[in-house]
Amino acid sequence: MNFPARVSIFLIALVLGGGAARAASDFAPAILFDFGGKFDRSFNQAAAEGAERFKKDTGIAYREFEISNAAQREQALVQMARRGATIIVAIGFTQASAVEKVAKQYPKLKFTIIDAVVDLPNVQSVNFREQESSFLCGMAAAMASKTGKVGFVGGMDIPLIRKFALGYTEGAKYVNPQAEVFQNMTGTTPAAWGDPTKGAELAKSQFGRGADVIFHAAGATGLGVMQAAKDAGKLSIGCDSNQNYLHPGSVLTSAVKGVDVAVYSAFQAAKDGTWKPGQQVLGLAENAVGYSIDEHNRKLITPEMEQRLVQAKADIISGKIKVSEYKAQ
Amino acid sequence: METYTLIVLLLAATIRVATPLLLAALAGMFSERSGVIDLGLEGKMLGAAFASAAVSAISGSAWLGLGAGIATAVLLALVIGFACITHRGNQVVAGTAVTIMVVGLGPTLALAWFNLGGHTPQLDGPGQRFVGLVWPWAQPAREHPLPGLLYAELLSGHNLIVYLAAALVPLSAWVLYRTRFGLRLRAVGENPHAVETAGISVNALRYRALIISGVLCGIAGTYLSTAASSGFVRDMTAGKGYLALAALIFGKWRPWPTLGACLLFAFTDALAVRLQGVALPVVGVIPVQFILALPYVLTVLLLAGFVGRAVAPHAIGVPYAKEK
């Protein structure tokens, strides 16, 4: 038997095996991850944790797919739909056009998309006010910085990441109007989510210009940013998942985004029959975004810092502090 | 002063970015000078990056990782050799096939072994990575900007592989131009029949060249996963193998000009990183998209217009068949 034949048999076995593992119930949730993969320790991983928790709580297995090239999005969605998924959660803004197309083909199926808006009667769009958590992280960065210079490393240059950058800059300037914020984007293609070498290089350049705290919103690329911060004895701020544990003592905090909660509640609502299409925008008020404090960064956040963060959080929720939202021209 | 510091930091970044390119380009040089097109550079590097990160994660030793990286890249080189030297297959196809295989195999094995979605575990234990070596008096030297900062940033503070790569350029030049092996290697890439007539085995020479290419690619891959970053992630070579090939052609298959080409590519890359969001005199802030395209635009311009004629080794790409 030649190599390709073996591979395809292996793949078929995998797919069949996955089918057999399906729970006896009719409810079949599915999740489609984005570039960077399920274990990027960031955005996709948060989604995976939500799905895992759902499986643990309900005993219902879910079907999953990690794309490795753009052409697989639609295929994977159609596969999931054809094989009887009840709800499909698509992670990431890049899935929008594929979801739109497949949702039209399967009007009875439920789709939830995270980080994008798809306006169809069977699609639920969940978005976050990342600018709010970024604002708080900007404040934390400016308060922790000794040089008055802080950095931001984004992944792919898209409005979503600009949103992080803008909130972060405003937060830093809120604490220290003279604060200087360096901003770099890794690239303009999805490859920018998975290039830790480039991330480290960008971080080093910002440290070279005097920054001593860097916030990344760059998926797996951010791992390089955090490693560079650790190597240089500086601070980094994690993104999407709580990344404080990656380099204890070097990660100031993480801008957490409740992707796990969104995935969990989408599955749960679909199971209970309370799932509704339409748009949801979640922020600090819904406790869907925020910053993380745990045993790994406890020592880095002083009581005064924490007090100001708590105050600012309340002010953002009450509307006293207005965080601008990035609008693409 | 500010500008001076920026320039020094830019040059230091250039050295870091150029290292894997240079190692891969030298690897390509040995292979192509012997008459074997090396499109497998990318794959060999990626394979080595994976193997070294995996072994370093398990064993806790970056040196064992380096060994595993080299072994893997040599093995892949021998696969290419078996296909296109022993069996006289198409060299372009063999190299590309190996690259495609590794692109899939690396993450698959990583998933099976570590269950971390195609990544290897993060390397942060002591001795798991090649970290920067700070030379004596580097810290106090910073106080005296002109020679001191140059010393502290440009010479000191890089990891071992960077220095190794720098030393490999004169070594390769010496091997290629001053040793009997080098002479035969160049001859076999120009006129294998003449080499055969002299009673030297063409295939043995080409295999040896491929093994050297594997060793160098192994070091390059190890640099990517255990020195420049901390662990293997999918597609982490990100086209560096092909860029190295371009640098090799740009450098006309010679060690010193190839070094220049690698430094130039790395410089534009490092410059692109630093130009983002910086307001320049006269033009103001340049859009990010333009900056990110700059290294590629420059590459095309240089390759198209300024290199002059790059003459490849005469027998390159032609499988050698012994005359009966």
% pLDDT > 90, chain B:
53
Asked if residue A28 and residue A64 are part of one domain, the reply reads yes
Q: What is each CA distance from A62 to A27, A53, A134, A283, in whole angstroms?
A: 9, 11, 32, 27
By mean pLDDT, which of B82-86, B198-202, B238-242 is the weakest? B238-242
Question: Does A327 reside within a domain?
Answer: no
B-interface mutation test, from A35, A38, A39, A64, most B Cβ less than 10 A away:
A39
pLDDT (0 to 100) of residue A11:
53
**For residue A22, pLDDT beyond 60:** no
Whether residue A307 has pLDDT greater than 70 = yes
Number of domains in chain B: 1
Asked if pLDDT for residue B309 goes beyond 80, the answer is no
CB contact under 8 Å between A201 and B270, yes or no, is yes
Which residues form the domain of A282?
Answer: 3-128+259-286
Q: What is the number of structural domains in chain A?
A: 2
Same domain, A180 and A308: yes
For B166-194, what is each residue's pLDDT tens digit? 999 999 999 999 999 999 999 999 999 99
pLDDT at A14 over 70: no
Lowest mean pLDDT among A10-14, A146-150, B295-299: A10-14
| A92 and A116 part of one domain | yes
Q: Residue A17: its pLDDT value, please?
A: 44
User: Is A292 a member of any domain?
Assistant: no
Q: Which of B237, B229, B217, B234 is nearest to B128 (CA)?
A: B229
- Rounded Cα–Cα distance for residues A128 and B122 (Å): 29
User: Looking at residues A59-88, what average pLDDT do you find?
Assistant: 89
Q: Are residues A273 and A186 in the same domain?
A: no
Q: Of the ranges A137-141, A186-190, B36-40, which one carries the lowest mean pLDDT score? A: A186-190
Q: Both A31 and A152 in a single domain? A: no
Q: What mean pLDDT comes out for the span B160-168?
A: 94
Shared domain for A183 and A122, answered yes or no, is no
* Residue numbers of the domain that contains B72: 2-241
**Interface probe, candidates B105, B276, B278, B291, chain A, greatest A C-beta count within 10 A:** B276
Four-residue CA torsion sign, B303, B309, B313, B315: positive
Greater pLDDT, B305 or A19: B305
Return the number of CB contacts < 8 Å for A and B: 87
CATH number at residue A69: 3.40.50.2300
What mean pLDDT do residues B278-301 have?
74
Give the pLDDT of residue A209.
84
Closest Cα in chain B to A248: B124
pLDDT tens for each residue of A102-152 = 999 999 999 999 999 999 999 999 999 999 999 999 999 999 999 999 999
A66 touches B at CB < 8 Å: yes
Q: Burial of B28 by CB count in 10 Å (0-12 exposed, 13-18 middle, 19+ buried)?
A: buried
Chain B touched by A220 (CB under 8 Å): yes
Candidate from A20-29, B68-77, B116-125, B167-176 with smallest mean pLDDT = A20-29
Q: What is the mean pLDDT of residues B27-37?
A: 95
From CA B243, how far away is CA B241, in angstroms rounded? 5
Residue range B44-68: mean pLDDT, rounded: 94
Does A35 reside within a domain? yes
Q: What is the pLDDT of residue A35?
A: 76
- Which pLDDT does position A18 carry in this prediction? 44
Nearest residue of chain B to residue A182 (CA atoms): B277
ipTM: 0.74
A236 inside domain: yes
| Cβ within 8 Å, pair B234-A227 | no
Two tokens, residue A171 = 């937060």
Do A157 and B229 make contact, defined as CB atoms within 8 angstroms? Answer: no
For residues A240 and A141, state if they share a domain. Answer: yes
Residue B304, min C-alpha distance to chain A (Å): 25
**Contact with chain B for residue A169, Cβ under 8 A:** no
pLDDT score recorded for residue B300: 79
Q: Do the Cβ atoms of B110 and B50 come closer than 8 Å?
A: yes
> Is it the case that residue A6 has pLDDT exceeding 70?
no
For the stretch A25-44, pLDDT in tens is 578 999 999 877 787 778 88
Go through B269-287 and write b for each residue having 16 or more CB atoms within 10 A of its CB, e for each that does not.
bbbbbbbbbeeeeeeeebe
